[in-house]
Each structure stands twice: as C-alpha cells, then as structure tokens.
Structure 1
Amino acid sequence: MIIINYLLICLIFGTTFLAIKVGVDASAPPFFSAGIRFFLAGLLLFLWMVWRKKASFKLLLHKEMLLTGIGLTFGTFATLYWAEQYVSSGIAAVLSATAPMMILVLQMLVWRQRANANAIVGCLLGFVGIILLVLPQLTVTADIMWLLGCCAIILGQIFYGGGALYAKKVIQQFPQASPIALNAVQMIYGGLLLLALALCTEHIDVRGMLTPRAIGSLLYLIIIGSMVGHSLFYWLVAKTNPIFPATWLYISPTIALTCGVLFYGERITWVSAVGVIIIIAGTIYANSDNLKLHSPGWRVLLSKIRNP
C-alpha cells in the first residue's frame, strides 16, 4: 500500500506544476489562486472527516496546525505560485526537487541527526539526474525576474523541508487524530494566510478567473492536487519518515517533461532519457531501507541494483 500511494503522489504532484502554470498564464492572481485552492480543499476535507466522526473542531484551536500550515502550504506555495509567473513549470519542478536535500540539511543542522549514507548518495544522484533531464530544455533567458523566481522556489523548499519535519512531530503529538484531518487543518490555515497575502498585494478580479483554463486548473488543483495528493503525502509521512514521501520531487520533472511533450510539442533528447534513468535509480537508492522494510517485493530489485 505504501508503494502504491507513493506512486500516486508522484503522478499527482508531477502534473500540478503544469496545472499551476496554466492557471497563472490564464491571468489568475497567484496568491489568491493558491489561497482559494488550499482553503477550499482543506475545508472540504475537514468537514468530511468531522462528518465521519474522525475529527473534532477542537483541532482548529491548536497552534501546531498553524505552524504546519506556514511550512507545508503558505511558505512553499506562495513562493512557487509567484515564481511560475516567470519560471517554466519544468524549471519549477527541478528547483522543487531540492526539498529532500533541505530536509537532510535541516535534520543535521537543527535536529542534530546523522543522515543515512544511502539517503545522501541517493539524493545527490537524483539531483544529477534532474539536471540531465531538463538540461536540453533550459532555454529561458536568465533575466532578473527569472533569477528571482528561481531563488523564491528554493526559499520555498526550505519552508517545505521544515514543514515536513515538523509535521512528523505533530503527527506523533496527536496520535488519535487522523493524518488526513491534520493535513486538512494545516491547509485551511495555509490557505487563509495566502488569501490574506493576496488581499494585501494583489488586485483581485474574479471575472478574470472565470475562463475555462483558470477554472479547470483550480478544480484540478483543489480536488486532485490538494484533497487527494496532500492527504496521501501526509499519510506517507506518518507511515514512513519525512524524506521518503518528499522524494516524489525526483519523479515530478519526468512527468512534467512528458506533459510538455504531449501538450506543447516538446522533444525528449537522449540526455533527458539518461536523466530519467538516473532519477529512478537515485530515488530507489535513497529509500532503499524504507523500501525493503515496507515492501518485501523490493528486496530482490534492490539486491540486483547493489549487486549486479
């Protein structure tokens, strides 16, 4: 079940970069779009959990939910949505792939934990693969806004890494609460903060968001990207560790590239193909211990990779 859910979030999150880009290109205000997405997704999920008697409204009163929302939703997606005005979805996916490394660095510097050698090597290998994957597509002129957009996404990944680590502690602190309910509440808070930021910084024209592209992007991101994808991510954090679920970011550039080929006529070069192979190998190696623990079927595959 862990492997299946992991593959699902790879597929779901891999397409959200393009969905965000479609919405931004349709003139939807980035902060307002992100706020609506996460607030509605979180609210619907939370009310559903309350209706099923698996969550209580008291969960909204804990400051831990707010802090998690700042990390996993507000800080991560405020920067990403803003940056995709100037950065392509493929580049955004590449830069977002620094999140597992941010988690490793934060674990070593803040929590004073020793990182597993396999995780470090696998993360570095996966990042090399990502560079190879998108290298042929790096044709964007590096103007000041493009550079600022890239820096903003990297900053967002620091929020993401801290949020993922803190979310693990929150899950342990509230063992009786469903991970889905915890995820819903943090999205509510993150969405509200994004809406507050939008009201302070953006001119919001609701009519401009009523185009088919903007509506389609928003609905996809609310239902599939947030309600389904982020709930699966939170569940995986609870069942494994913060690094394992975050390595979906090594798969997302491959999916983003595929979407580009299918919908924008982009070409895949042999360099990109090599990048895909390296990404998959790095992801498996980084998570070898977790994969062997949770899925006996992976043991044979991992043994063949390590001992060809």
Structure 2
Amino acid sequence: MIIFNYLLVCTIFGTTFLAIKIGVDASAPPFFSAGIRFFIAGLLLFVWSVWRKKAAFALLLRKEMLLTGIGLTFGTFSALYFAEQYVSSGIAAVLSATGPLIILILQSVVLRQQSTVTSAIGCIIGFAGVILLLLPTLTVAAGGWQVVGSIAILIGELFYASGALYSKKVIQRYPQSSPIALNATQMMYGGLLLLLLSAFTEHVQMTSLLSTSALGSLLYLIVIGSMIGHSLFYWLISKTNPVFPSTWLYVSPLIALVIGVLFYRETVTWVMALGAATIIAGTILANLDSLKQLVRKPRATVSSAAKGSFSLHKR
C-alpha cells in the first residue's frame, strides 16, 4: 500500500504540470485559474481541518500565513502559470525541481549556513543542467519567449525557496496547528493574491473557463493535485519517514517529461533530456547529506518532521 501510494503521489504531482498546460492552452486566464484553484482547495481543506478540530479560524488572521502564501503559492505559481504559456509542461517540471538547490544557495549566501563540498558540487551540476536544458531554445525563432518563461519559473522557485525557509519559523510559532491546516491557510491567501493579480492584468471571460479542457484542468488540479495529492503525501510521512515521500521531487519531473511527450506531443531533444537528467542528479547530490541524516533518524522523529513538511507542497 505504501509503495502504491508513493507511486500515486509521484504520478499526481508529475501530471499537474500537464494539467496546467492544458488549461492555459485552452485560453483559461493563467492567474485567474491559479487563484481559483488554490483558494477553493485551501478553503475546503481548512474547513475540513476546523471540522476535525485541527485548526481554529483565528489562524486566518495571522500575518505569517499571508507572508507564507506570498512565497509558497503566489510567487511560485504566478510564475509557473505564466511560464507554461511558452514552455512545455515537461521542461516546467524539471525547472521546478531546482527549488531544493535554490534553498541551499539561500541558506549559504543569505543565512550564512555552511554547506558541504558535496552540496556545492550538486548545485553547480544542477545549474549546468539548467543551461543544457535551455540551450536548444536559444537556437529557434520562438526561443525568446521560451527563455523568458524558463527564467520566470526559476524566479518562482526563488519565491518558493524563501517561503519554504520562512515556513520553518511559522511551524515553530504554531505547533498546535496541523501542517495541513497551515498549508490550507497559506493556499487561501496565495489564491486571493493571484485573483487580485488577475483583476489588474487579465480580462476574464467565463466562457473561456467553461470549455471541456479548461474546466477539466481546473477540477483535476483542485481535487487531484491540491487535495488528494497533498493528503497522500502527509499519509506517507505518517507511515514511513519525512525523507521517503519527499523523493517525489526527483521522480515527478521525469514522469512529467514522459507524459508530455506521449500524450501532448511535446518535443524533447537529446540535449534537453541530458539537461533534465543533470538537474535531477545535481538536486540529489546537493541534498545527499540531508537525505542520509534524515534516513538515519529514528521513527520517533517522524511526527515532528511532519510538522515541518507543509512547505514541500507542490504542484
């Protein structure tokens, strides 16, 4: 059951990138679609948490939830939804896997935390992979917007990394609240900010959201991506350890690449495939020391580590 649910989580998170792409290609306004997705998913999860007495409505009034929502949802997904107008879903997934690398860089440069030689080498390899991944887009006529979209995703991952680091303080500040409730609250704030951005930048026509592709994409992302996927993720943490479920970060981008090619006729050159493999390898190498440490921790630490995992929500 554990292996089945793990593969299901990897598949769900891997397919969300294609679901976003389908919705955007169906002319659904990207910021509005993202806002609706996260606000509704967050609202449903929050109400469920309150009903189960795992959260209180006072959580909605905390400024920390707003700040976390800016990093983990608003900044990350405004960039991703914008970028998928110009970048394939598979490439978007691989570039999104740079989040852990950027977290390590922020820890070293901003927080002055020492990193190991292995982590530093992993970061270098990971960003070499980014260059390889983007190289083919520089040789085609439409490459300009593809590069802009790719850079936007990397900026979004900078927001994600900042939000992930900040969320650790938030978790320590509210130990009585469940991680699902904290995640739901920040999703609601992030969704509202996305809707506000949409109001100023997009002309929303409801007819564009009622097509089969746009509506199906939105429902899939709300129910499967943002609710079922996250719930299974937390279930895996409770049944195993914090590290095992988090390895979806290394599996899902490859699933996204394959699904995009097989079901959406996206093209991947051998240079791009090499870049994708290099990014994943660099990410694993950069996090190798942390992964080894967590694996060695006894099962008794699972509960506390689970409380630190709501920043890992994607995608």
Same fold, judged at TM 0.5 (above): yes
Contact 1:91 1:134 in 2 (8 A): no
Matched with 1:110 is 110
Counterparts of 1:271 and 1:145 in 2: how far apart (Å)? 19
Q: Look up the SS of the partner of 1:227 in the other structure.
A: helix
Task: Provide closer, same or farther for how the CA distance between residues 224 and 138 of structure 1 changes in structure 2, counting only shifts above 3 A.
Answer: farther
Deviation at 1:255, TM superposition (A): 1.2
Q: Is the Cα–Cα contact under 8 Å of residues 30 and 81 in structure 1 kept in the other structure?
A: yes
Q: Name the counterpart of 2:155.
A: 155
What residue is the counterpart of 2:200 in the other structure? 200
Q: Distance in 2 between matches of 1:203 and 1:17?
A: 24
What are the superposed Cα offsets for residues 13-70 of structure 1, whole Å, 9 maximum, x if unpaired?
Answer: 2221111000000110001000000000000000001111111101111100000000
Deviates more, 1:227-236 or 1:286-295: 227-236
Q: Check if 1:94 corresponds to 2:94.
A: yes
- The question of 1:264 aligning with 2:264 is answered yes
Matched with 2:24 is 24
Flag the 1:240–1:173 CA change in 2: closer, same or farther, 3 A. farther
Paired residues of 1:121 and 1:286 also in contact (CA < 8 A)? yes
User: Partner letter of residue 211 of structure 2?
Assistant: T
Counterpart residue identity of residue 100, structure 1: P
Distance 1:277 1:97, change over 3 A: closer
- The answer as to whether partners of 2:65 and 2:185 remain within 8 angstroms in 1 is yes
CA 1:277–1:229 in 2, change beyond 3 Å: closer, same or farther?
same
**How far apart, in 2, do the equivalents of 1:180 and 1:69 lie?**
14
1:253-289, CA deviations, whole angstroms, 9 ceiling, x for partnerless residues?
3112210232135677776776676566545444434
CA–CA distance in 2 between the matches of 1:117 and 1:132? 23
Q: Is the 8 A contact 2:100 2:283 kept in 1?
A: no
- Contact (CA 8 Å) 1:125, 1:278: kept in 2 or not? yes
Secondary structure class of the residue paired with 1:176: coil
Asked if 1:43 corresponds to 2:43, the answer is yes
Q: Distance in 2 between matches of 1:133 and 1:7?
A: 26
Where 1:87 maps in the other structure, the secondary structure is coil
RMSD of aligned alpha carbons: 3.4
2-structure distance, mates of 1:252, 1:136? 22
Query: 1:204 offset after TM fit, Å?
Result: 1.0
Asked whether the 8 Å contact 2:137–2:147 carries over to 1, the reply is no
Once the two structures are TM-superposed, the CA of residue 9 in structure 1 deviates from its matched residue by: 4.6
1:77 maps to which residue?
77
Give per-residue Cα distances to partners, 1:89-136, cap 9 Å, x unaligned.
223223323322221121122211112333333344455567667877
Whether the 8 Å contact between 2:28 and 2:209 is mirrored in structure 1 is: yes
Identity within the alignment, %: 67
**Contact residue 93 and residue 249 of structure 1 kept, 8 A:** no
TM-score (norm 1): 0.80
> What amino acid is the match of 1:78?
S
| TM-score when normalising by structure 2 | 0.78
Amino acid at match of 2:221: L
Amino acid at match of 1:148: V
What is the CA–CA distance in structure 2 between the aligned matches of 1:6 and 1:43, rounded to whole Å?
A: 25
1:291 deviates by 3.7
| 1:305 matched residue in structure 2 | none
1:137-148 maps to which residues of 2 (within 5 A)? 141-148=141-148
Q: What are the equivalent positions in structure 2 for 1:205-284 lying under 5 Å apart? A: 205-230=205-230, 245=246, 248-265=248-265, 281-284=281-284
For residues 56 and 288 of structure 1, what CA distance do their matches in structure 2 show?
A: 37
Conservation of the 8 A alpha-carbon contact between 1:23 and 1:217: yes
Cα gap change, 1:287/1:155 in structure 2, threshold over 3 Å: closer, same or farther? closer
Aligned in 2, Cα 1:77/1:222: closer, same or farther, shift over 3 Å?
same
1:77-96 Cα offsets, whole Å, 9 max, x none, are 11111121122222322332
Contact 1:125 1:282 in 2 (8 A): yes
Q: Secondary structure at the match of 1:251?
A: helix
Seen in structure 2, the aligned counterparts of structure 1 residues 101 and 235 have a Cα distance that, compared at 3 Å, is farther
Assess, with a 3 A threshold, how the Cα gap between structure 1 residues 8 and 169 changes in structure 2: closer, same or farther: farther
| Unmatched tracts of structure 2, length 5 or more | 297-315
Deviation by residue 1:128-165 (Cα, 9 ceiling, x = unmatched): 56766787798853454333322222211111110111
- Report the Cα distance in structure 2 between the residues aligned to 1:193 and 1:167, rounded to whole angstroms: 18
User: d(CA) in 2 for partners of 1:162 and 1:5?
Assistant: 29
Distance in structure 2 (CA, Å) of the matches to 1:167 and 1:128:
29
Aligned residues, how many? 293
**Change in CA separation of 1:2 and 1:173 when aligned onto 2, cut-off 3 Å:** farther
